[in-house]
Amino acid sequence: MKKILTLVVMFLAVVSAGAETKNGVELKAGGNQLQVTFYSPQIVRVQKCPESKPMPAIQSEVVTMTPLSDFDVKIQEGSSAIKMSSSALTVTIDKRSGLVQFAAPGKNLLKEKNIGFEERTEGSDKGRYIVTHTYQLDKDEAIYG
């Protein structure tokens, strides 16, 4: 009985229910904090950081758009995933791992495979992270950036 209770407590510590925000969700999963926000029906911003650190409040130097408000996002929370859908995109977040998958109607677009953070401890980037991010790709598919 103690083993079952311990497993349940560990599972609950790993999976945190998502809190809905305007056209998005915030949750903790897989040791990370996530904020997923639809900026438009076709644009989704995903922010992640280690769970042990606060989500950076620093404004992005590359994301200058503010989220539009004249569209709807359906948010469905299941036992293992949160699914967010606009008229153009569906984003599925695995509640255990925190990995994200993007799809358009009838077509998978991109699926995360793994993500890792290594905090910089010196230099001008002290306190920022080296991020390792991998995706599941088709054999003939390449991504750049």
Q: What is the pLDDT of residue 4?
A: 37
Over the stretch 4-26, which tens digit does the pLDDT of each residue have? 333 333 333 334 456 777 789 99
> At residue 145, does pLDDT exceed 90?
no
pLDDT tens for residues 59-103? 777 888 888 989 999 999 999 999 999 999 999 999 999 999 999
From 79, 81, 42, 46, select the one nearest 60 (Cα to Cα): 46
Q: What percent of the chain has pLDDT over 90?
A: 61
* Rounded Cα distance, 44 and 86, in Å: 10
Mean pLDDT value across the chain: 85
